[in-house]
Structure 1
Amino acid sequence: MSTKTATQNTKTSSAPPRRNNARIAAISGFVGSALEYYDFFIFASAAALIFPFLFFPEGEPGVATLLSFGTVGVAYIARPFGAVLWGHVGDRWGRKRALLICLAIMGVATFLVGCLPTWDTIGIAAPILIIALRLIQGVSAGGESPGSSALTLEHAPDRRRAFFTSWTMSGIMFGIVISSLVFIPIAAMPEEDLLSWGWRIPFWASAIVTIVAIVLRRMLDEPEVFEEVKESDEVAKIPLVTLFRYSGATVLRITLMSLFTVINTMFNVFVLAYGTTVAGIPRAELLIVITVANLVAVGFGPIAGMISDRIGRKPVFLTGLALQSVTIYALLAAVDAGNMTLVWILGIFLIGFAYTLSNAIYPAYFPEQFPARVRYTGMAVSLMLGLVLAGFTPAIAQGFVTGEGNEQNWPAVAWFTIAIVAISGVAALFAPETSRTKTAHLGLSRRQFAEIDRREAIGDPVTASVRTTPYDR
């Protein structure tokens, strides 16, 4: 038997396990991301509804809320550092190992938030401790969705990558759904019980899901593309250095493309706080709107992924941005007016459809623009740098409306958000269309493609080293 035939037989025999790995990767991406962002967004919900009363001293109206929103933002500062750390682990020693550690750290930090004493008990130490745990959450979150996206992408069939990776984002949206659902009965508790012990329950509950997610992640194999990089001894010694040496422009482009995620925190955090404190909308009703909108996004995400696999990444991504820009202005106007019929319609459309068109496909679109040897680091660093602004968007927006007589400044919040989304759109115009590129060829330079074409033309084998040896673009 020839070497070529043996190789073909080996690949054929390994096909079923690869398909199973794609399914397991999608499921574990869904569950793992649901856990990470349940943990991440119960903190955000608590920051909007609970923490201003427990962890910050009373002062001027809106100032405690502003400080509380600041604790949401500090996690986004930590996420780029987490991206560098977990990207290094994932690109050097494996995606699976990095993701397992991320899950464990997030679960422990979230559980400990529920154990913290408040300002009345320990004074200034209370906000310091909660900020410290939020920073740990941020470091963990810096590696979860990028690593899950890279892992699932590399296991998925070439023409179905957006569908499989969309389950990571559906998991994130489902995590938001759970975090909102949990707070509906909690927010309806008598205020004395809510502020004394009720708010702690959602944080303690995360321990159960952490165990389930870790079990699922342990079932996965490392992707074949990454194993080829290891076998050819082309693993980047310092992935961050290799990333910026050969893919610096891609990092900048994807960082700017990531800015559209301000829509997420605007809706799930700022709208919740503004609607309850300024427009007088009941907390439970707004939480139900947020829950339903994100639940629609869970179901529509894989559909958006299938659409993108069929017609391309760029048209789906840009259509989503355009719809978000129009809808966010109308939604904020409806919230300010207290028009709950419009809040329901616009909220569901914004998050369930417009935002999901962009959000569900970026786990494929962003890492597809990096080569395998720095894919985890590239995706993580670029995305987390872009998400820093999203983390501070509620605090920035609160700054527009805080202060006596300024309650009608919601148009400034809307235009600020629209401008950020527009920057994402301009950056996307310069991005390549990657939906038809083979997984093994993703992120390659023109010279690498030329070398592959030359070898295929003369019948030479295209080894992993050809795809991983850096060439100037």
Structure 2
Amino acid sequence: MRSKIASPRTRPVSMRRLAIASCVGTTIELADFGLFALAAVLVFPRIFFPALGDAAGLTASLATFGVAFVARPFGSILFGHFGDRMGRKGTLVTTLTLMGVSTVLVGFIPPASQIGVLAPIILVTLRFIQGLAVGGEWAGAVLTTAEYAPAGRRGFWSMFASLGGGFGAILSSALVVGGSLGMSDEDYLSWGWRVPFLASIILVGVGLWVRLNIDETPVFKAEVERRGAPKAPFVQAFKAQPREIILASGTMLMIYSSYYLGITFLTNYGGTHLGIARTPTLLTALAATVFYTIGIFLGGLTADRYGRRLTMAVAATAAVIFPLIMFPVLNAGGFAGLAVAMCITMFITGTATGPLGAFLSELFRTQYRYSAAGFSYNFAGIAGGAIPPLFAASITQALGAYMYGVLVSLLSLLSLACVLLLKDNAGRDLTSEVGGARPRRSDVRTESSERTRTTT
């Protein structure tokens, strides 16, 4: 059966088709983003920062990785402005194009041994463009499904944009593993790492074809017809709902910090501190991204059944506890301990990510929803995804890896507090003003029954 939603001035739209379009786009963009994350710890310190030595080179490479997190809030403001004024569809096509071009160009950058300091400068510039694109991507992809979805199933359908991020993480890990198998370290550092970046142009072409064949959301069209396009949606959002924006950003600190811990930090830790070879470490990272994707799916399902806030609160609680017990197990267990640590960390992270699409969509008004949701999602990346990597190497070297786990645990505790301070608006009509009466359970059941009658 295919669930279809009809609006008075558009043809019936398949929710499955919209979900696939949302998922495919974020898969491609997050795969490109993930390629950079893995290359930042495996390749870039030796290719672009060889003169700095191992520790300083890794720190510089991770700082480059963090540049994108600094750029993402600016991308959310820029593309959120156009997304709220001109529509979701065109904005998403633009973000995907920018992401694809910048990723392919990374694969062409000569090493520092050939062009000197110009190499890391080009790398930082392209990374900043990647950050701008991703900053405008996730919120638009989420709203494409959330603004079509029936209220009683919004957690499930909105989850597909985040699920695309999970598939993107799997794809990027698979590309790196596939590219390194049967290849010497010299060949991999010379040219092997470039292949996944160059091959991503094929995925971008597929993503553009999918996105060009979706319609604008009826919720956005109705808002423009009723009130006109907002002049400054980002400014309006901060004037109307500053508390919600700040707390929503806080809820995602644990997602960013735990994701970095589970993939980037532990990938490097497995090789440098546990002495595990590159290929087994990358295969473990690949398995961890599968657990991350499973967590996203389950988080989206439980968000409809038990509520967005409860699902995220349980995941945040687990993220507070697990880093405190992880490193003793990790150091004692060798490769098995690494696999357990990475997979559990990523599963917890995915479970918290699953409800986010519905949670943020229901938190903000339509007139500035793209700007507010996008900024909240990406601003948290600075505190959770950009700053911790800068201190990871120095904290581990000076105080031990356990203290880095303590830092992640504290960020997760802050996220838990923010989750509990926000309301759960599950089932809210997205065309109504936030803060109005929440639908009665009978209304949700009636809507669900209507949805069942409109499926074919």
Instruction: Give the structure-1-normalised TM-score.
Output: 0.87
Correspondent of 1:438 among 410, 429, 439:
429
The aligned counterpart of 2:134 is 141
The residue type equivalent to 2:292 in the other structure is A
Per-residue CA distance 1:230-273 (angstroms, 9 max, x = gap): 11133211111111111111111111112112101111111111
Correspondent of 1:339 among 330, 334, 349:
334
The aligned counterpart of 1:114 is 107
Are the equivalent residues in 2 in contact too, given 1:166–1:363 (CA < 8 A)? yes
Distance 1:248 1:13, change over 3 A: closer
The residue type equivalent to 2:280 in the other structure is E
The aligned counterpart of 1:276 is 271
2:82 counterpart of 1:92:
no
CA distance in 1, matches of 2:96, 2:343: 30
Further displaced range: 416-425 or 430-439: 430-439
Are the equivalent residues in 2 in contact too, given 1:72–1:392 (CA < 8 A)? no
Question: How far apart are residue 14 of structure 1 and its match?
Answer: 7.3
The aligned counterpart of 1:461 is none
CA distance in 2, matches of 1:52, 1:334: 28
The aligned counterpart of 2:405 is 414
Correspondent of 1:330 among 325, 329, 334:
325
The residue type equivalent to 2:55 in the other structure is G
CA distance in 1, matches of 2:279, 2:390: 22
CA distance in 2, matches of 1:65, 1:335: 22
Are the equivalent residues in 2 in contact too, given 1:292–1:348 (CA < 8 A)? yes
Question: How far apart are residue 12 of structure 1 and its match?
Answer: 7.6
Question: How far apart are residue 13 of structure 1 and its match?
Answer: 7.2
CA distance in 1, matches of 2:324, 2:144: 36
Further displaced range: 54-63 or 176-185: 54-63
CA distance in 1, matches of 2:271, 2:170: 19
CA distance in 2, matches of 1:356, 1:43: 20
Are the equivalent residues in 2 in contact too, given 1:275–1:338 (CA < 8 A)? no
CA distance in 1, matches of 2:109, 2:30: 20
The aligned counterpart of 2:454 is none
CA distance in 2, matches of 1:333, 1:74: 32
The aligned counterpart of 1:154 is 147
Could you say what secondary structure the match of 1:236 adopts?
Answer: coil
Percent identity over the alignment?
Answer: 29
2:303 counterpart of 1:312:
no
Distance 1:321 1:104, change over 3 A: same
Per-residue CA distance 1:380-422 (angstroms, 9 max, x = gap): 11111101121332222122123xxx4x611110100000011
Across the two proteins, how many residue pairs are aligned to each other? 433
Correspondent of 2:237 among 240, 243, 257:
243
CA distance in 1, matches of 2:431, 2:307: 18
The aligned counterpart of 1:132 is 125
Question: How far apart are residue 444 of structure 1 and its match?
Answer: 1.4
Question: How far apart are residue 59 of structure 1 and its match?
Answer: 3.4
CA distance in 1, matches of 2:48, 2:402: 30
Correspondent of 1:193 among 187, 197, 209:
187
Per-residue CA distance 1:183-209 (angstroms, 9 max, x = gap): 113334212211111110010011011
Are the equivalent residues in 2 in contact too, given 1:279–1:337 (CA < 8 A)? no
Distance 1:338 1:60, change over 3 A: farther
Are the equivalent residues in 2 in contact too, given 1:293–1:348 (CA < 8 A)? yes
CA distance in 1, matches of 2:390, 2:322: 21
Question: How far apart are residue 40 of structure 1 and its match?
Answer: 0.5
CA distance in 2, matches of 1:337, 1:68: 29
Are the equivalent residues in 1 in contact too, given 2:365–2:430 (CA < 8 A)? no
The aligned counterpart of 1:424 is 415
CA distance in 2, matches of 1:11, 1:26: 16
Correspondent of 2:285 among 284, 290, 303:
290
Structure 2 portions without partners, runs of 5+: 441-456
Could you say what secondary structure the match of 2:229 adopts?
Answer: coil
CA distance in 1, matches of 2:53, 2:36: 23
Distance 1:382 1:12, change over 3 A: closer
Could you say what secondary structure the match of 1:222 adopts?
Answer: coil
Question: How far apart are residue 60 of structure 1 and its match?
Answer: 4.3
The residue type equivalent to 1:238 in the other structure is A
Are the equivalent residues in 2 in contact too, given 1:35–1:175 (CA < 8 A)? yes
The residue type equivalent to 1:259 in the other structure is L
Are the equivalent residues in 1 in contact too, given 2:103–2:200 (CA < 8 A)? yes
The residue type equivalent to 1:369 in the other structure is L
Instruction: Give the structure-2-normalised TM-score.
Output: 0.90
